[in-house]
Amino acid sequence: MEDVAAVETRSLVNDLEDLLVDARTWADAEFTYQKTRAGFVAGSLRNALVLGLSAAVLGLVLLITVSIGSTIALMPILGPWGATGLVGLVLALVIVLLLRAAARNWRDITAAIRENREGEG
Q: Which residues of the chain have pLDDT under 50?
A: 1
Q: What is the pLDDT of residue 88?
A: 95
73-94 pLDDT, tens digit per residue, is 999 999 999 999 999 999 999 9
DSSP at 1: -
**Distance between CA 2 and CA 6 in Å, rounded?**
6
- Nearest Cα residue to 73 out of 84, 89, 59: 84
Residue 33: phi and psi, rounded to 5, are -60, -45
